[in-house]
Chain A
Amino acid sequence: MIRFDHVSKCFSGHTDALSEITVEIQDGEFVFLIGPSGAGKTTFLRLLIRDILSTGGKIFVDDWNLNTLPAGKVHLLRRFVGTVFQDFKLLTDRTVFENVALGLEILGKGDKEIKDRVLDVLELVGLAGKQQFFPLQLSAGEMQRTGIARAIVGGPKILLADEPTGNLDPETAWEILSILQEVNKMGTTVVMATHNASIVNDLKKRTIALDHGILVSDEKSGRYRAAAKHQKKP
């Protein structure tokens, strides 16, 4: 479970990137995070992995109070919360297999277990047979599949995706969405920040809209229209 309790984030010398956000996301939910550029979506997600600390309010992820979580335990939170990015953040000098295996190596898993699990996950994201490719030999869609595989290989309970389809054509974007839905069906909470109106409108999932750091709407089956006046083309 994710809980924001009157959370504010103010970067130094700046008006609030987020102000007084109170919201709860239950286990197993699929949530879109929308809003115009600069609304605070990335800030919201970064707070959740303790990449940054809030300047007001409390954030809880499962049993962790992120405000008081000691630096020495942040890695445990990161194993619980997987992350996917618009720019993939893959290591270019490593193969698809090695990139994905990273998430298991840090847990000290054995070679055999790593191999089995990585191949399973690559199968799940539709990259079977591409494990020896390097990122530069992949299409953008395949790179994002690799990114998702890396994020879920360790079995996180929550998956955060920051504009995962931002660099993809519509068709590929839909393929990525079906993988994320698949992951969600297996029990993982998914929170996805996006500018992709058609995806939000078609999937009819819970949608949280931010604007200038303020939570402007939280609908069970949201429409991208919620922030239409600031809408930016995907």
Chain B
Amino acid sequence: MSTLATAAKHIRRSPYQAMAATTTMFVTFLLAGIFFLSAVASAFILQYFESKPQITVFFADKATREDADALAKTLESTGKTSSTKYVSKEDALVIYREQNKSDPLLLEMVTADILPASLEISAKEPKYLADLVPIIKAANGVEEVIYQKDVVDALIAWTNAIRLVGGVLTGLLAFNSILTIMTVVSMKIALKREEIDVLRLVGASRWYIRLPFILEGGLYGIGGALLSWVIITLLVLWARPVLLGFLGMIPPFGSILLSPAATPFILSSLGFLGGLLVTGFFLGSVGSLIALGRYLKF
């Protein structure tokens, strides 16, 4: 009888223990998977904002186009900017109209007058921002400077929080699933004591005896991982339009979420599944190995 068949038979003979083990693994991977995806997403978002060293300068109403041009010229002369773009009150209105075209009431209320003109400045590298800011603050007609660094700092705080909470919770759940697998496999070892003794007597190698148990633990992990993948994939598909709206402008999300039937989505999904399955098998077999180490000393 092959090792896999033996492991499958062990599982079939005690469906409730198998369910307990698989469910624990499932919950672990569901949470771990969601936290993992959130951590990856926040890292991408962070990277996107960090790679865009932008400053937006809003001008006071009394400031003129000349003030803005003068500032742009001064900044460009430092050689530390990659682009500057003037957005006039009228341009701002066009953008505003485009963003709110589905809401006539908002369109009615706003005229070009109440929107500020602005200058969008991109630095060549994030570290130049610190040099540019004093120049901007000293310029004529500047009312407010919005600094991308604030956004980045907030994002870093979020990313770290997700990693910490996710890491701790995932660790606890992983520990719990290893304990569950250990308990289930220990019970199996106790039930099969007689058979194990006979196998040893007729000359079965240690790995011949251990392998079905290791495989059994691994299969619980794989089962839980597979289930969690199905649920997470369904969740992502369900939330796809919303996510695309929020994160579509960030390159990896834009291409991955664009279509669930296209290669990028399928590849990342399969990669995620692969990672889950490998981790599941690993966790499950570690649980078995610990049980074997404790109850099958030879």
Contact = CB atoms under 8 A, between A and B. Distances in A.
B206 interface: yes
A83 B201 contact: yes
A83 B199 CA distance: 12
B194 A91 contact: yes
A75 B298 CA distance: 11
Contacts of B197: 89
Contact of B204 (A71, A83, A106): A106
A54 to B, nearest CB: 18
B206 A72 contact: yes
Interface string B12-26: 000000000000000
Contacts of A9: none
B202 A91 contact: no
Given A71-B298, A89-B197, A102 B206 contact: no
A150 interface: yes
A186 interface: no
Contacts of B154: none
Interface in B176-207: 194-195, 197-206
B198 A91 contact: yes
B198 A75 contact: no
Contacts of B201: 49, 78, 83, 89
Interface residues of A, number: 22
B138 interface: no
Given A78-B200, A91-B198, A106 B208 contact: yes
The interface residues of chain A, by DSSP majority, are classed as helix
Contacts of A154: 202-203
Interface in A45-85: 49, 71-72, 74-80, 82-83
Contacts of A151: 202
Interface in A130-165: 150-151, 154
Contact of A75 (B1, B194, B195, B204): B204
B205 A105 contact: no
Contacts of A77: 203
A103 interface: yes
B198 A106 contact: no
Interface string B41-81: 00000000000000000000000000000000000000000
A229 to B, nearest CB: 34
B298 A150 contact: no
A150 B206 contact: no
Contact of A102 (B194, B202, B298): B202
A102 B197 CA distance: 12
A4 to B, nearest CB: 21
B254 to A, nearest CB: 53
A47 to B, nearest CB: 15
Contacts of B195: 91
B288 to A, nearest CB: 19
A151 B194 CA distance: 16
Contacts of A150: 202
Contact of A79 (B194, B198, B203): B203
Contacts of B298: 71, 74
Contacts of B198: 89, 91, 102
Residue among A74, A75, A102 with the highest chain B CB neighbour number at 10 A: A75
A82 B200 CA distance: 11
Given A89-B197, A91-B195, A105 B1 contact: yes
Nearest to B194: A91
Nearest to B297: A71
Contacts of A106: 199, 202-205, 208
A78 B202 CA distance: 6
Contacts of B194: 91
B69 to A, nearest CB: 82
Contacts of B204: 75, 106
B1 A78 contact: no
Contacts of A83: 201
Given A89-B197, A91-B195, A150-B202, 5 more contacts: A71-B206, A72-B206, A74-B298, A79-B203, A103-B202
30 contacts: A49-B201, A71-B206, A72-B206, A75-B200, A75-B203, A75-B204, A75-B206, A75-B208, A76-B203, A77-B203, A78-B201, A78-B202, A79-B202, A79-B203, A80-B203, A82-B202, A89-B197, A89-B201, A91-B194, A91-B195, A91-B198, A102-B198, A102-B199, A103-B202, A106-B202, A106-B205, A106-B208, A107-B203, A151-B202, A154-B202
